[in-house]
Each structure stands twice: as structure tokens, then as C-alpha cells.
Structure 1
Amino acid sequence: MPDVQHMKATMRRYADLFNAGDHVAVADLYADDAVIEDPVGKRPVEGRAAIEKFYADSIAAGAKLVAHEVRGSYGNRSAMRFSADLPGLHIDGIEVMTFDDGGKVVRMEAFWGPDDFQAV
């Protein structure tokens, strides 16, 4: 199991790489069979190729992330309060990442819904 510092650093690196526009490096943080549910309740994105496309599309849409708070756990999960800005839209939410023993993300769940975004 990865230590809490690794999990927290990975979440911060995720936001930095996303904002740098490097969808390949963001996808490299994930295991090959990882799953993204963003937002929770929406159809999951599964596997490396789909994850890379998900981030490429998000970056191409002009999204930017801010990691406001990152928290670890005694287990293999870490959480981050984030905001995302897209042209004309601001989202506030929570992301939870689950890690495998090698320190790769195997699942990312983003918690945000209709009352967590606003037009700007």
C-alpha cells in the first residue's frame, strides 16, 4: 500500500499535470485497468486509452483545476477538495482516488452535482 505522502503528492501532481495540458502524463498516474467516475453516477470511463481520451477532451475544452485541500487516509485512498473552471462554468467538488500497492490510481470518483456548479 502506498504511504499517505505518495497519495497526497500524486493528487497534487495530477492537478499540476492537468493544468500543464499533459493528458498523457495525467493518464500515466493511473493503472492500465483503472476506472474514472466523473461525476459519480455518470457512466464510468474504463481503461488506459479511454482515460487518456477523457483527459485530452477535458483539457481541450479549456478546463483548469485547483486543488484546495488534499487529505490522506490510513488506507489506500486520498481525497481532494477541488474547483474546476471551464469557459462559462465553475464547479466545486471532491475527488477520491484509490491506489494500488504500486502507487498507481485504480479508481477516481468525482463528487459534484447540479448544485455544485455555476455559470460564470
Structure 2
Amino acid sequence: MPTKQQIDHAINEHFDAWNAQDQARWSANFSDDIVFEDPYGGLLKEGPQAVQHSWENSFKNGDVWTLECLLKQVCLDQAALVVRSTGSVDGKPVVVEGIEIYTVNDSGKVCHIRTYFNPPEGMELDPYFSQQT
């Protein structure tokens, strides 16, 4: 079971590296068997390729997204967060708020992420981050 300090570090590293646009640091924060359910109801994304594709699909076409943790609760090996993501789609500003659940393994690496969010009405996010219908 990871310690609360390991979980806090993994979550802080996730947000800090992302917002600094430090892909190498962000990617190193994940276990090799990472599973993304991003968003829940979409296609499962697994392993190092999922980390790479999540980064590439978030920052393509010069888009920049920043993440802000509004609330965090840690229980056992998981952290539940309320997150605000601010970015742009097709040159239009977008703010998405959602709930994200992170599981951290005994090595202090993020091994599972499940996100719950919907794009603003009338907007579609990159298909990589779409729910299946």
C-alpha cells in the first residue's frame, strides 16, 4: 500500500509536470501497466503508448491545457479530485470541470486513472477523449 506522502507526490508531480509542459517528467510518473479510462465510458488506453498518445492528443495543433486541482481526498491507494482543465479547441477557449480518480501503486507511480467529464455544450473534444455512444 502506498503512503499518503507517495500519493500526494504522484498527484502533485502529475499536475506540476503537465502545467510545465514537461513530457518526460509527466510520463515518468506512470507505471508501465497504467490504465487510462479518460473519460470513463471511452476506450481503455493502456501502457506506455497510452501515456504518449494522451500527451500528443492533448497538445496537438499548438493547444495548451492547464490543470488545476480544486479538491483532493486521499483514501487508501486512491485520490479523488475535482479538476478544472483550461485550454482551447479550434481556437476557442474551453474550461472543463470533472472528477478524476487516481490509483497509485506501492512504488508511488500512478497505475490507473478514471475521469468523469463532459465537454461544454456544443463543443467536441479530440475523439481520443470521447465517450462511446
State TM-score, norm by structure 1: 0.86
> Which consecutive residues of structure 1, in runs of 5 or more, have no partner in the other structure?
none
Aligned residue for 1:92? Answer: 97
Q: Which moved more, 1:10-19 or 1:59-68?
A: 59-68
Runs of 5+ consecutive residues of structure 2 not aligned to the other structure: 123-133
Larger mean CA deviation between 36-45 and 49-58 belongs to 49-58
Cα deviation, 1:17-69, whole Å, max 9, x if unaligned, reads 10100122111111011111111111122111321231233134211111111
1:1-120 maps to which residues of 2 (within 5 A)? 1-60=1-60, 61-73=63-75, 75-87=76-88, 88-114=93-119, 117=120
Contact persistence 1:23–1:55 (CA under 8 A): yes
Superposition misfits of 4+ residues, deviation over 2 angstroms: none
- SS in structure 1 at match of 2:107: coil
What is the root-mean-square deviation in Å for CA atoms of aligned residues?
1.9
Q: Deviations over 1:72-93 (max 9, x none)?
A: 11x2111111100111211001
CA gap of 1:86–1:118, structure 2 versus 1, over 3 A, is farther
Once the 2 structures are TM-superposed, how far is the Cα of residue 16 of structure 1 from its aligned partner? 1.1
Rounded to whole Å, the distance in 1 between the matches of 2:94 and 2:48 is 27
Tell me if the contact between 2:10 and 2:104 (Cα under 8 Å) persists in the aligned partners.
no
Range moving further from structure 2, 27-36 or 54-63: 54-63
Partners of 1:83 and 1:90 within 8 A in 2: yes
